Each structure stands twice: as structure tokens, then as C-alpha cells.
Structure 1
Amino acid sequence: MDYKKSEAKEYAREHFTGVWAANLTPFDEALRIDEKALRQNMDHWIRDLNLGGLFIAGKQAEFFAMSIEERKRLITLSVEAAQAAGNRGGIGRCGIITSCSDTNLDVVLDLARHSANAGADYVIVHSPVLHFGADTEETIYEYYRYLSEQLDIGIAMWNHPDCGYTMSPELCNRIADLPNIVAIKYSADRARYKRLTELAGHKIQVSNPSEEDWLENIIELNWKLYLCSTPPFLLQTKVDQRMNEYTRLAFAGQHAEARKVRDSLEPVRAAFRASKPAGKPQAHGKAWQELLGQHGGPVRRPLLNMTEAELAATREAFAGCGLRLA
């Protein structure tokens, strides 16, 4: 880490910014992590797409279908690939945040310590899955308080209603007072994340995964961080980086120009949404990756792969979306 625990918030305010993408994990036909493909994807995302950072080993990466050792290997590979890409060609450094989420707290701590030792910049930990009414604010606060106590690395909260509850802005604000809590990926409605920004925007980076709302959140809420839902490497190519462009324009205060660029991406968004079959977000993302020239590959059980008809529909949608490849 390039900061002390007491410096985590300040460091994140300066460096945990811009467009960050959640990886999809390429598996080979034997369903092993395809390390060569991962390195090539990351080299493209960092060197060609100039992403500010990468969110490694999250839900889109199928962490739930991996062993602990595989998750650690994915973390190590990703940090090494980011460092290698950054050492070539004089490009800016790409940050790495690793998902250490798990139902077992010891696993969370093990993965977080491994991430820090591997050289990750931050870790992100999903709010705990709790049953039988145990999802009280005191329980959730104590969960993050204990993580903060045990770890020196900067921690991002992560809350999505698929865990069974939505954390209140007031609870998130209370957790934001902990010394190395630096951000939140808050998959909540706009009223909630706007309220949290008012309460804690000076303490942590607040982000919501909706790309469609990213520009307005920069303009209206002065946000500096996008932690994705639809990965930015699915909306951009080496020669067509409209998401990066509208982000740059918005950060520079050129809001009208930024809206024009943002709106021009709507055919790409529409094609992506229309071709995605129900229940197959990772498989569809990987199919779209392959159409972009990236490595996708199969998904692991319990997920389902795309059918031939679904792949054909995706190819047709992609062909008409207007995303330039060259």
C-alpha cells in the first residue's frame, strides 16, 4: 500500500477516482482460469481503454464459483498484470480494488490480507448476508467496525438489495467515520444515494453502478468515482471511448458537450440490453467481449451458458449498435 491506515481516506480522495470496471473472468474449455487470456484482457483495458481502475473478483467475475485459492490467484494475477501494463509505454497507473466478500468473516479477512500483501490498492466487502431478522443496523455496523479494526488497507462498503436489505444512508454515514472506510458501491435508489452524498460525501467516495446515471451524478452530486454495473470495457473500444470522453468533459465542467457524447452511446446501451437473455448476465457479457475482440469463454456452474439462438441475437444486436472497432 502507498498509504498508512490513517491516510486511507485522503489517499482515496485523490486516487480512487474516474471510471473503474468490474472484470469478467475468462475460463478455458476445461473451466480453469485462463491466465493468458486474463492478462491480455487487462492489458487492453489498461493500455488501450485507459481505465482508472479495475474491480477484481466480484460477482460479475463469478467469485462464488471459485475456490478460495482461485480467488487469491485471480487477485495476484490482476495486480501483477496492472503493474506490468503500467510499466510499459508511460501510461498512468491503473488502480486495483479486490472483492473479498464472503459469507464467512474469516475468509473475508484472509482475502483482504492477501490483497494487501499482493499490492492491491483497496478492498471492497459486501454487506453481510444475514437471516431471521439479524440484519439490524448494530449488527451491520459492528461487521464493518471489526473489519476496519483488523485491516489497514482502505475498505469500500458494498450494498445491494440482493443481500436481503438496503443499508440506510444514516448507517452508511456512521460506518464512513471509521478510519479506513474510503468508499461505497451503493446499489440504492437515487434518493438514498443523494442523501448519503450529502451526509458523507466529504468523507468517502460515493458511487452507484448505473452507467446511465453516471454523468448526472458527476454534475449534480460532484461524484468522482464510477464503480460499474455494465463494465466500461463493454461500451468502449480502442478507437471509440465515448464513456471516457463524456467523463472527461464532465469533470472539466463542459456539461452540454458531455451530454451529447453520453447520449450518442444510447444505441450501444439499447443493443446490449435488448440482446441480454434473462438470468445470463455474465455469459452475455462474455459473448459481447468476444465480439469486441476480447477473451470471454464459458461461465461456471451454477450459471448457464448462452444458447446458439441467444448468441445469434447478440451478434445481430452488436452489428447494428454503432460501436466502432477500427
Structure 2
Amino acid sequence: MKYSKHDAKAYAKENMRGIWAAALNPFKEDLSFDDAGLRSNIRHWIDDLDIQGLFIAGKQGEFFSMTLEERKRNFEIAVDECGGKAGTIMSVSDQNLETVLELAQHAQDCGADYIVVHAPVLSFVHDRGEVLYQYYKAICDKVDIGIAMWSHPDSGYLMQPEECARIAELPNIVAIKYSVPRDMYVRLTEMVGNRIHVSTASEEEWLDNVEQLGWKLYLCSSPPYQLQTCFDKRMNDYTKLAFEGRFAEARKVRDSLDPVRDAMKISRPADKPQAFGKYWLELLGQVGGRVRRPMLELSDAEKSAVKTAFEGCGLKL
């Protein structure tokens, strides 16, 4: 641990900054975990794309199809490859609290910087505030590592800003990945933005949030390694300009990526997000690999459409 439990907020405010990406996990043809492929991708993301932190074993990484041991191994590989050059935040999310705590302790023990825990599915619960507070408190009480909340529609509800603000008072809550409408994350930023990082996964809203809300952390999704190459780091470029207060210049660079965003939107099948992401990685020269059930693979026709869109998007390879 690089900080104590009660220093977690201050440490994260100072060190958890910049562009963090949510890692896809490559699986081999036999669907086994591709350790070497993940290591290769991480090296590229850090060394070539200058990504400042990685979100490991989240929904992009198909944690829901992985065994407990695979998830632990996923943490270890990321810590080893990041080697202090980039931060790590490990998704320990699970519906079973004992699994969450086991993964949280492993993340802490293996040298992760932070963990993220998504809001649990709460069947039949209509007044969620106390349930959520006690859930996050139980995790905070057991580990010292900094914890990010994560609220998204997959839970069946969205955590309200007031609920998040109360949880943010716990000593080692350091951030929230808040996948909600903009008015909700603006309100939460106004309430707790001086104490914890508030962020959302939308790359298209990132620059506006730096300019209008003073955000310092993009937490996080796949655009940092899907919109960029060794020779074309426009997301990094516009972020740097924004952090320097050069917003008009930053907007020009951001808007120049619209053809890439459009290519991804028109060619991404609605029911195959991870398979699309992995094939796009392969077109970029990274390691994509298979997806596991319940996710579906791209058809040959879908791959052809993605390749055509990719070749016309204007990324410099």
C-alpha cells in the first residue's frame, strides 16, 4: 500500500489522474485466458499510448465469465506489467459479498492501487439508501485500499447523488464511476467533487467535463486504446490541451476524431460489444481474441463491415 486508509482520499486526488482505460481481456481459440496477449496489450497501452491507468476485470474484461482464480491472476498480471508506470484499479464486483471481499483483499495484497465495486442488484428493494451505505461500509471496514463506487443501469437502478455523497464520507472511498445522465453527475460533482473523483465512461463528454466541472480523471472505458495509435494520440493531445486551459484548441482536436467515433458507431453490432472491441483491437495490431458465453462472436459479414469502417476512419497507423 502506498497510502494509509485515512490518507486514501488525498492520495487519490493527487495521483489518480488523467486517462484511465478499461481493459478488454483476450481469450484464446480454446477460450483459455491469454496471459501473453494481455501483457502485450498492456505494454502497448502504457508504453506507446501513454495511458495513465488501467481498469482491470470489469465488464469490458468479461469478469462475469471468469473464474475467481482467473480474476486474481488478471490482477497480478496487470500489477506486474504496469510496474509503477501506470495505475491500476481492479473490479472486485460480484453479487456475493464474500467474493467481493476475497478479491478486494487479493487486490490489496498483490499491489493494486485501488479497487472498484459496482452497486449490487437489489431485488424487491425500493428504499435503497441505507442498504447501499451499509454495503459499501462493510467493504470499507474490511480493507484499507481506496475504493471507487460504480453505478450503472445494469444494477436495475441508479444510485442517487445523495446516496453517493453519504457513502463518499467513508474514509477509503476515493472515486465513483458514475454511468448516469449528465445532470446527475453534475449534481454529485457539486456535492463531493472536492473530496473524491467523479467520472463517467463517455469519452465524448470528457472534454466538456474537464472544462465545465474541473474533472481530472477519465474513468474509464475502451476509447483510449481504440481511438489512438502510436502515431495518432489525439485523445491524449486534447486532454493535455484541456488540462492546460487551452479549450478552443482542445475542441478542434477532439472534434477531429468524429470520423473515428462515427466509424465505430455505424459498425458496432448492438448485441456484440466485446466482440466488436476485440476485432477493432486486432485491426489496430493489438491482441483481441475470442469472447466467452454469454457474449457472441462477430459473423464474417459483421467483421467485413467493421473492417471497411475502420479503413475509412482516418486513424494513422
Q: Which residue of 2 aligns with 1:32?
A: 32
Structure 1 residues not aligned, in runs of 5+: 87-92
Q: Which residue of 2 aligns with 1:8?
A: 8
Q: Distance in 2 between matches of 1:236 and 1:140?
A: 37
Q: Which residue of 2 aligns with 1:271?
A: 263
Q: Which one of the candidate residues 249, 252, 263 is aligned to 1:260? A: 252
2:296 is the alignment partner of 1:304: yes
Alignment of 1:204-219 (within 5 A): 204-219=196-211
2:64 is the alignment partner of 1:64: yes
Letter in 2 for 1:5: K
Q: Is the 8 A contact 2:177 2:201 kept in 1?
A: yes
Q: Which one of the candidate residues 122, 141, 144 is aligned to 1:149? A: 141
Q: Which one of the candidate residues 288, 301, 305 is aligned to 2:280? A: 288
SS of the counterpart of 2:108?
helix
2:290 is the alignment partner of 1:317: no
Structure 2 residues not aligned, in runs of 5+: none
Q: Distance in 1 between matches of 2:164 and 2:303?
A: 41
1:15-62, Cα deviation, whole Å (9 max, x unpaired):
111000000001111111111111110000000000010000000100
Q: Distance in 2 between matches of 1:230 and 1:73?
A: 21
Q: Distance in 2 between matches of 1:168 and 1:201?
A: 15
Q: Is the 8 A contact 2:238 2:251 kept in 1?
A: yes
Q: Which residue of 1 aligns with 2:81?
A: 81
1:197-227, Cα deviation, whole Å (9 max, x unpaired):
0000011000011000000000000000101
Q: 1:134 Cα shift?
A: 5.4
Q: Which residue of 2 aligns with 1:90?
A: none
Letter in 1 for 2:68: I
Q: Which residue of 2 aligns with 1:98?
A: 90
Q: 1:146 Cα shift?
A: 1.1
SS of the counterpart of 1:149?
helix
Tell me the matched-pair count: 317
1:72-100, Cα deviation, whole Å (9 max, x unpaired):
011111111111xx5xxxxxx20000000
Q: Which residue of 2 aligns with 1:89?
A: none
Deviation beyond 4 Å, 4+ runs, structure 1: none
Q: Which residue of 2 aligns with 1:199?
A: 191
Letter in 1 for 2:86: C
Letter in 1 for 2:32: R
Q: Which residue of 2 aligns with 1:108?
A: 100
SS of the counterpart of 2:144?
coil
Letter in 2 for 1:14: E
Q: Which residue of 2 aligns with 1:175?
A: 167
Q: Distance in 1 between matches of 2:216 and 2:33?
A: 32
Q: Is the 8 A contact 2:23 2:222 kept in 1?
A: no
Q: 1:161 Cα shift?
A: 1.4
Q: Distance in 2 between matches of 1:140 and 1:189?
A: 20
Q: Which residue of 2 aligns with 1:52?
A: 52
Letter in 2 for 1:275: S
Instruction: Tell me the percent identity.
Output: 59
Q: Distance in 1 between matches of 2:220 and 2:298?
A: 23
2:129 is the alignment partner of 1:122: no
Shift in CA distance, 234/11, structure 1 to aligned 2, threshold 3 Å: same
Q: Distance in 1 between matches of 2:182 and 2:162?
A: 15
TM-score, scaled relative to structure 2: 0.99
Q: Which residue of 2 aligns with 1:184?
A: 176
Letter in 1 for 2:44: H
Q: 1:135 Cα shift?
A: 5.6
- Structure 1 window deviating more from structure 2 (128-137 vs 204-213): it is 128-137
Q: Distance in 1 between matches of 2:181 and 2:159?
A: 11
Letter in 2 for 1:204: I
1:230-275, Cα deviation, whole Å (9 max, x unpaired):
4310010011000000000000000000000000000000001111
Q: Distance in 1 between matches of 2:276 and 2:236?
A: 23
SS of the counterpart of 2:313?
coil
Q: Is the 8 A contact 1:185 1:208 kept in 2?
A: yes
Q: Is the 8 A contact 1:169 1:196 kept in 2?
A: yes
Q: Over aligned residues, Cα RMSD in angstroms?
A: 0.8
- Structure 1 window deviating more from structure 2 (163-172 vs 127-136): it is 127-136
